[in-house]
């Protein structure tokens, strides 16, 4: 494993060209050379620097998991299935307006709105669906704008490019809703703050999403175009197992596709991802298997805990215990993702000692591979 | 240029070769002049157009060289002496008409002036027009001095009328652009009267201006050439200097004559080496040459570009009786003279010294070595680039970004004009093919039809506005007709900028300075039913988005007009920059990650300089044109533009 920070040239050869890029957007927009465009990271001009932030903060270049964990969560990387947690519970928004638009329980929208109301953040970076049903990241500064971010379309979106565009001298405090790869990139930034561009200290809240995989824009959007009247689509959903379906809700009803038809559009990079539950976020949010209209919520940091407490107190969230069966199942799924990813990584590198980007203690690796 | 119209016979003016040629045309009493700009020929028309109104004749910048020659022929057919001027590439454009007009006669004197460009200093090839004269049976004269440039041009009109065929004056850069004394002659005071004669004396159903029957006319043309050869035998434009019996005879023409003179003088060989300077190049004065061949055992042919004289003289020798003397030839075939590029006195000295077995060192080897090194020590390294403020830099920046974003390995086919710089760093190496005028769109037509062979790379053809009118329109129509998949980007800077801002059909001004109807590129493209978008290349975001949109389309050609006036034209007119530009050093990231001096390492406008000591970008206030585009490139907003 090469632990050295390198430049954009190596970012291309080691990450992008090898199918490791998750399209998180951490490399894009922080300089004029790298941008994202229609589901790809594009190098517009050749940058000659031998070390760059693009390579440094990429979640698929070498990452010292202990150092990151120490910085964000105050202790080294945990071998627990769900990472370091303060509390795992289930929640849903009490706001009918939010619930009507949300993917599941509307928890993310509710806590972001609260963070904004309470002045914890001045804005939040989220993803919304454009009219053509492609995802686009944006900076929401009002409750109304935050609501636009509700719902998912399962496509990878370079959210962190928007963050990189915020001027360094901005004093706006930010929340970010991020996928596990994006949470990892943010954590790398928090661990070694970028010098020339964004002020990472302004990121006050990271809400991580659960993620099994994301779909690549190019193939999947073409699939949608060919199979659906996109302007009429209201919402997409992949219900928890054992549904094994991809559902599109349109103005004239639900259209379902077998999940296997969709799987071919999974980002190749997702195969090598260990993290299902955004282990370095302040709060991680996902669905609850078998209980519709609720979210699983993992509280990881003090910031996350305070916000949850306030949400409960102000009646923004209805909170409940996650049934033990669900918790067990969640852990099992999370562990499975780690094991599978590690095996894929070793298969790719061809060397058990070379885990590409994963900097973990031998003992943890041995446990996961056992 | 004021000199060419002076009505003072017998006085001497300092003229460049092109002005001398123009003066010759005036002394010949031309009523009509047509040209398309092209270095090194441009000043012929510029100087003629500047006096046309005053001197009561007509001058025009034509849409291309073929039309220029055809227009001039039209005037000739109606009894008006006419001249057409162009560079060597232009003769190729006009060659179809040229190959046909030789089959007929002419009306009044008709002269084609062609300026060749040895070493292709301002060209994409170094075509030798003398071969065209031989190929198409056209009498051709080549001046070796500035006085000759004027005198020969004047005489060429008489010759054309005497022979009843078009004549060519061939000149090269060192005659066209160098300056020398020219003794002026009389300016005729003749009133021009134009009339097209509908009746042919030999065949009443035809006019004289239909090349039919061609084979018979071809034979007649040979009779004309025989007559020309006879006239040339005693022409004062051919002369010999040197001893009666020379050890070595140099046969030369044009500017090489001066190099030969210098060589012989430098080597002190005046008593041993003779020089036969030829001014009537085609057909060659056979008897004159044969006479000199018999007086020297060795012949060195000194000429630029092709071995035209060398080959033609060797052909002559093959026809001589077997007992004739057979001198040894030196020249391009023997390797004594380069068969490419310009010559200079040193090269001729070297060849002569080698043949005469003389050791000659123009300067000590040590000195030469030092001289070769010095430029790299003291001179700043300069690359071919766009002018500061040039809209093309922004256009190619947008093209580069659009092609990279599109990600299908798209590329640009181009041709010749200022935008040819895009083959190098100035245009971010975007132009990947570069041939003659209009070839960008022509080549794109073929590439755009290769989908059946798995080709899916986007093709962008570029042309300038003047080039669009010159030769791109047929290629665009072909694309429409044959449904070829490409995007044509017309770089409309409202001038023929490369050759010095001559007006063209899109500018609304004629060569004589009169306003005229503007041929609207956009309307013209619309009339072909193609999708047309107009962008300001300085609106980089919109320009890039428009290109991306057009590239993504399929089917027949699309047109993007990148419209922004040439900065030099704007600056000449408005006499002040648009913006005052400066760099805020506190904001400039310099070489740090996040910028890595994009402005000076990638965008590379010559108005931007890298202050190595400070580690910051700076504006070179002397060079900066104040266009302000770099402010939009800077990721830090460290480049600040303030409206002037």
Tokens encoding A349: 């590198």
Are the beta carbons of A196 and B635 separated by less than 8 Å?
A: no
Tokens encoding A81: 């299935």
Residue of A nearest to B587 (CA): A196
| Confidence band for A246, pLDDT divided at 50, 70 and 90 | very high
Task: Tell me which fold the domain B239-355 belongs to.
Answer: Rossmann fold (3.40.50)
3-state secondary structure of B630: helix
| Confidence band for A163, pLDDT divided at 50, 70 and 90 | very high
Tokens encoding A169: 């001298």
The whole-angstrom separation of Cα A20 and Cα A355 is 12
Q: Which residues of chain B have a CB within 8 Å of the CB of A197?
A: 594
Are the beta carbons of A48 and B592 separated by less than 8 Å?
A: no
Tokens encoding B74: 């039209």
Residue of A nearest to B403 (CA): A44
Give A99-134 pLDDT, tens digit per residue. Answer: 888 888 999 999 999 999 999 999 999 999 888 889
Which residue among B407, B589, B602 places its CB closest to the CB of A45? B602
Q: Which residues of chain B have a CB within 8 Å of the CB of A53?
A: 593-594
The whole-angstrom separation of Cα A292 and Cα B285 is 103
Nearest CA to B155 out of B235, B88, B79 is that of: B235
3-state secondary structure of B104: coil
Predicted confidence at residue B500, as pLDDT, reads 82
**DSSP percent split of chain B into helix, strand, coil, nearest 5:** 40, 20, 40
Contact B522, B534 (CB under 8 A): yes
Side by side, the strands of the sheet bearing B273-278 are B239-241, B273-278, B248-253, B298-302, B328-330
Give B26-46 pLDDT, tens digit per residue. Answer: 999 999 999 999 999 999 999
The whole-angstrom separation of Cα B410 and Cα B430 is 10
Give B585-629 pLDDT, tens digit per residue. Answer: 999 999 999 999 999 999 999 999 999 999 999 999 999 999 999
The whole-angstrom separation of Cα A277 and Cα A85 is 11
Query: In the predicted model, is pLDDT for residue B113 greater than 50?
Result: yes
Residue A197 or residue B316, greater confidence: B316
The whole-angstrom separation of Cα A255 and Cα A270 is 26
Predicted confidence at residue A239, as pLDDT, reads 83
What's the pTM value of the predicted model, to 2 decimals?
Answer: 0.92
Which residue among A43, A46, A52 places its CB closest to the CB of B593? A52
- The number of beta carbons lying within 10 Å of the beta carbon of residue B453 is 6
Predicted confidence at residue A192, as pLDDT, reads 95
Which residue among A31, A38, A40 places its CB closest to the CB of B593? A31
Chain A interface disruption, residue of B594, B599, B602, B610, most A CBs within 10 A = B594
Are the beta carbons of B592 and A195 separated by less than 8 Å?
A: yes
Every domain of chain A and the residues it spans = 8-216+266-369, 218-263
Predicted confidence at residue B186, as pLDDT, reads 96
Q: Which residues of chain B have a CB within 8 Å of the CB of A5?
A: none
The whole-angstrom separation of Cα B521 and Cα B333 is 49
Task: Tell me which fold the domain B577-643 belongs to.
Answer: Alpha-Beta Plaits (3.30.70)
Residue of B nearest to A50 (CA): B593
Q: Note whether A48 contacts B: Cβ–Cβ < 8 A.
A: yes
Tokens encoding B483: 């449904």
User: Which H or E run includes B483?
Assistant: none
Contact B153, B170 (CB under 8 A): no
Contact B609, B619 (CB under 8 A): yes
Q: Which residues of chain A have a CB within 8 Å of the CB of B540?
A: none
Nearest CA to B115 out of B182, B175, B45 is that of: B175
Which stretch of A191-205, A269-283, B147-161, B542-556 has the lowest confidence by average pLDDT? A191-205
Q: Note whether A42 contacts B: Cβ–Cβ < 8 A.
A: yes
Give B410-438 pLDDT, tens digit per residue. Answer: 999 999 988 999 999 999 999 999 999 99
Every domain of chain B and the residues it spans = 2-233, 239-355, 391-573, 577-643
ipTM confidence: 0.91
Are the beta carbons of B601 and A48 separated by less than 8 Å?
A: yes
- Determine the Cα angle at B44 with ends B42 and B48, to 5°: 125
Q: What is the mean pLDDT of chain B?
A: 94
Predicted confidence at residue A281, as pLDDT, reads 98
- Determine the Cα angle at A363 with ends A362 and A366, to 5°: 85
What mean pLDDT comes out for the span B361-386? 84
Q: Do domains B239-355 and B577-643 have the same CATH topology?
A: no
| Confidence band for B1, pLDDT divided at 50, 70 and 90 | very low
What mean pLDDT comes out for the span B341-354? 96
Which stretch of A261-270, A299-308, B315-324, B596-605 has the lowest confidence by average pLDDT? B315-324
Chain B interface disruption, residue of A10, A16, A31, A46, most B CBs within 10 A = A31
Q: Note whether A165 contacts B: Cβ–Cβ < 8 A.
A: no
The whole-angstrom separation of Cα B55 and Cα B282 is 32
Pairs of CB atoms within 8 A across A/B: 48
Q: Which residues of chain A have a CB within 8 Å of the CB of B601?
A: 48
> Does the domain formed by B391-573 have CATH 1.10.260.30?
no
Tokens encoding A107: 């928890």
The whole-angstrom separation of Cα B54 and Cα A20 is 75
The whole-angstrom separation of Cα B369 and Cα A334 is 73
Chain A interface disruption, residue of B397, B405, B590, B596, most A CBs within 10 A = B596
Are the beta carbons of A43 and B635 separated by less than 8 Å?
A: no
Query: In the predicted model, is pLDDT for residue B445 greater than 80?
Result: yes
Are the beta carbons of A49 and B407 separated by less than 8 Å?
A: no
Give B459-484 pLDDT, tens digit per residue. Answer: 999 999 999 999 999 999 999 999 99
| Confidence band for A242, pLDDT divided at 50, 70 and 90 | confident
CATH assignment, B2-233: 3.40.50.970
Query: In the predicted model, is pLDDT for residue B205 greater than 80?
Result: no
Phi-psi region of B642 (alpha: psi -120 to 50; beta: other; left: phi over 0): beta
Nearest CA to A255 out of A283, A232, A285 is that of: A232
Predicted confidence at residue B330, as pLDDT, reads 98
Task: Tell me which fold the domain A218-263 belongs to.
Answer: Nuclear Transport Factor 2; Chain: A, (3.10.450)
Q: Note whether A45 contacts B: Cβ–Cβ < 8 A.
A: yes
Give B255-283 pLDDT, tens digit per residue. Answer: 999 999 999 999 999 999 999 999 999 99
Instruction: Calculate the alpha carbon distances from A325 to A83, A328, A332 in Å.
Output: 18, 5, 11
Are the beta carbons of B635 and A32 separated by less than 8 Å?
A: yes
Contact B531, B560 (CB under 8 A): no
Predicted confidence at residue B621, as pLDDT, reads 93
Residue of B nearest to A45 (CA): B602
Task: For B549, list phi and psi in degrees, rounded to 5.
Answer: -65, -45
């Amino acid at each position: 494993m090469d632990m050295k920070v390198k430049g954009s040239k190596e970012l291309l050869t080691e990450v992008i060209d090898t199918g490791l890029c998750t399209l998180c957007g951490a490399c894009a927009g922080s300089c004029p050379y790298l941008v994202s465009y229609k589901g790809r990271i594009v190098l517009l001009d050749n940058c000659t620097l031998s070390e760059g932030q693009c390579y440094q903060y990429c979640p698929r270049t070498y990452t010292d998991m202990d150092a990151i964990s120490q910085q964000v969560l105050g202790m080294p990387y945990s071998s627990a299935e769900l990472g370091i947690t303060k509390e795992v519970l289930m929640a849903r928004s009490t706001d009918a307006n939010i619930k009507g638009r949300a993917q599941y329980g509307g928890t993310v929208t509710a806590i972001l709105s609260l963070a904004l109301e309470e002045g914890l953040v001045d804005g939040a970076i989220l993803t919304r669906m454009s009219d053509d049903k492609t995802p686009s990241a944006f900076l929401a500064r009002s409750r109304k704008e935050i609501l636009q971010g509700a719902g998912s379309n399962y496509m990878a979106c370079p959210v962190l490019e928007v963050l990189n565009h915020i001027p360094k001298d901005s004093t706006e405090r930010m929340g970010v809703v991020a996928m596990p790869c994006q949470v990892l990139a943010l954590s790398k930034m928090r661990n070694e703050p970028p010098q020339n561009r964004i002020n990472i200290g302004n990121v006050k809240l990271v809400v991580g999403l659960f993620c099994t995989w994301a779909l690549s824009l190019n193939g999947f959007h073409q699939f949608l175009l060919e199979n659906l009247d996109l302007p009429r689509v209201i919402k997409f959903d992949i219900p928890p197992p054992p549904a094994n379906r991809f559902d599109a809700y349109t103005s004239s009803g639900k259209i379902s596709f077998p999940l296997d038809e969709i799987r071919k559009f999974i980002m190749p990079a997702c195969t090598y991802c260990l993290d299902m539950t955004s282990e370095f976020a302040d709060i991680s949010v996902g669905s609850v298997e078998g209980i519709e209209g609720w979210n699983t919520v993992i509280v990881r940091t003090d910031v996350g805990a305070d916000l949850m407490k306030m949400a409960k107190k102000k009646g923004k969230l209805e909170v409940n215990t996650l049934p033990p069966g669900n918790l067990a199942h969640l852990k099992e799924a999370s562990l499975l993702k780690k094991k599978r990813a590690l095996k894929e990584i070793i298969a790719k590198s061809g060397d058990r000692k070379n885990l590409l980007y994963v900097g973990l203690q031998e003992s943890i690796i041995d446990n996961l591979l056992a | 240029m004021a000199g060419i119209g002076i009505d003072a016979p017998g006085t001497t003016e300092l003229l460049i070769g092109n002005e001398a040629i123009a003066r010759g045309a005036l002394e010949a009493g031309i009523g009509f002049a047509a040209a398309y700009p092209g270095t090194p020929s441009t000043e012929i028309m510029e100087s003629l157009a500047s006096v046309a109104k005053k001197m009561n004749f007509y001058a025009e910048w034509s849409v291309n060289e073929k039309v220029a020659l055809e227009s001039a022929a039209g005037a000739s057919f109606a009894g008006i002496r006419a001249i057409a001027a162009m560079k060597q590439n232009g003769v190729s454009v006009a060659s179809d008409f040229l190959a046909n007009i030789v089959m007929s006669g002419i009306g009044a004197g008709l002269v084609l002036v062609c300026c060749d460009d040895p070493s292709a200093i301002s060209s994409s090839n170094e075509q030798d027009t003398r071969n065209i004269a031989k190929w198409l049976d056209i009498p051709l004269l080549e001046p070796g001095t500035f006085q000759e440039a004027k005198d020969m041009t004047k005489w060429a009109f008489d010759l054309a009328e005497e022979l009843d065929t078009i004549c060519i004056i061939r000149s090269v850069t060192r005659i066209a652009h160098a300056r020398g004394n020219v003794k002026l002659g009389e300016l005729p005071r003749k009133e021009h009267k134009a009339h097209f004669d509908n009746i042919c004396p030999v065949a009443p159903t035809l006019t004289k201006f239909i090349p039919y029957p061609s084979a018979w006319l071809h034979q007649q043309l040979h009779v004309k050439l025989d007559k020309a050869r006879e006239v040339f035998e005693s022409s004062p434009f051919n002369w010999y200097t040197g001893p009666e019996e020379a050890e070595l005879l140099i046969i030369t023409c044009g500017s090489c004559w001066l190099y030969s003179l210098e060589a012989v003088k430098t080597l002190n060989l005046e008593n041993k080496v003779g020089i036969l300077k030829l001014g009537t190049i085609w057909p060659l004065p056979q008897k004159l040459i044969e006479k000199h061949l018999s007086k020297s055992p060795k012949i060195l042919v000194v000429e630029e570009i092709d071995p035209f004289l060398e080959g033609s003289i060797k052909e002559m020798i093959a026809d001589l009786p077997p007992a004739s003397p057979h001198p040894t030839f030196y020249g391009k075939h023997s390797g004594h003279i380069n068969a490419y590029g310009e010559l200079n006195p040193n090269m001729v000295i070297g060849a002569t010294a080698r043949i005469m077995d003389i050791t000659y060192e123009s300067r000590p080897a040590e000195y030469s070595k030092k001289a070769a090194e010095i430029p790299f020590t003291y001179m700043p390294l300069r690359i071919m680039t766009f002018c500061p403020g040039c809209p093309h830099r922004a256009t190619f920046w947008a093209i580069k970004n659009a092609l990279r974003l599109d990600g299908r390995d798209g590329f640009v086919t181009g041709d010749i004009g200022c935008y040819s710089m895009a083959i190098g760093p100035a245009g971010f190496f975007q132009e990947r093919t570069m041939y003659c005028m209009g070839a960008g769109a022509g080549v794109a037509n073929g590439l755009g039809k290769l989908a059946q062979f798995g080709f899916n790379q986007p093709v962008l053809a570029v042309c300038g506005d003047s080039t669009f009118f010159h030769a791109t329109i047929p290629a665009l129509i072909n694309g429409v007709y044959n449904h070829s998949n490409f995007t044509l980007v017309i770089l409309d800077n409202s001038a023929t900028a490369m050759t010095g801002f001559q007006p063209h059909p899109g500018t609304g001004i004629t060569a004589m300075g009169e306003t005229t109807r503007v041929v609207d590129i956009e309307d013209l493209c619309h009339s072909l039913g193609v999708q047309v978008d107009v962008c300001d290349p300085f609106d980089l975001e919109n320009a890039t988005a428009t290109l991306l949109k057009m590239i993504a389309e399929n089917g027949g050609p699309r047109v993007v007009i990148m419209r922004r006036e040439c900065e030099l034209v704007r600056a000449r007119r408005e006499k002040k920059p648009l913006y005052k530009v400066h760099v805020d050093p506190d904001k400039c990231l310099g070489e740090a990650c996040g910028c890595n001096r994009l402005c000076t390492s990638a965008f590379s406008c010559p108005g931007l300089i890298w202050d190595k000591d400070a580690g910051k970008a700076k504006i070179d206030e002397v060079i900066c044109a104040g266009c302000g585009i770099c402010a939009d490139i800077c990721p830090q907003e460290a480049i600040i533009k303030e409206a002037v």
